Amino acid sequence: MPATLTLLLISACADPGLPELEAYAERVRARPAGPLEPVPEVALVAPFPYLPRERRDPFMMDEQAADVAQRRNPSGISPDPLRRKEPLEGYSLDSLRMVGTLEQDQTRWALIMDPDGMLHRVRTGNYLGRNDGKITRVDPTELLLTEIIEKAPGEWDQRQASMALKQ
């Protein structure tokens, strides 16, 4: 039975128009090739001599740019790029909900629910939201935090934000 089925499948692959296709392919191969267009001339470009002694190192910060950045941000406020990010900093503040508080060993914790439904426990000093929001106080009905926002390129400022308990 399997041999009969295999023979039937193989014979179904035979195409009666195959000899006609082979004859057409032979006729196309027998045609003379047309003339080729000449290869265009390539213009030579003079090499640029790079003399590193005359230029600043592109991998080092320019002192003048550092001075401008310092003058632009006289407050000295800026996010700490070396600080390890906390899980709730991956969400916008609007997408997080404060759903409760609890107190343990003289420490008040806020219970924050993320958009995925996960519950997180945070306290004063923790960070949340995308603007480097540092929690400054946890009250039974709200959470207060200070965010660092960029007013202009290289110019940072602080703003106060809060999150109220959602019932």
Give the pLDDT confidence of 118-139 residue by residue, as tens digits: 999 999 999 999 999 999 999 9
**pLDDT of 10 over the 90 cut:** no
**pLDDT of 68 over the 60 cut:** no
| pLDDT of amino acid 126 | 97
Terminal C-alpha separation, the chain? 71
Residue 157 makes CB contacts below 8 A (sequence gap 6+) with: 75, 77, 148, 149, 151
| pLDDT of amino acid 111 | 96
Q: Where are the domains of the chain?
A: 84-164
| pLDDT of amino acid 12 | 60
CATH numeric code, 84-164:
2.30.30.830
What mean pLDDT do residues 29-44 have? 89
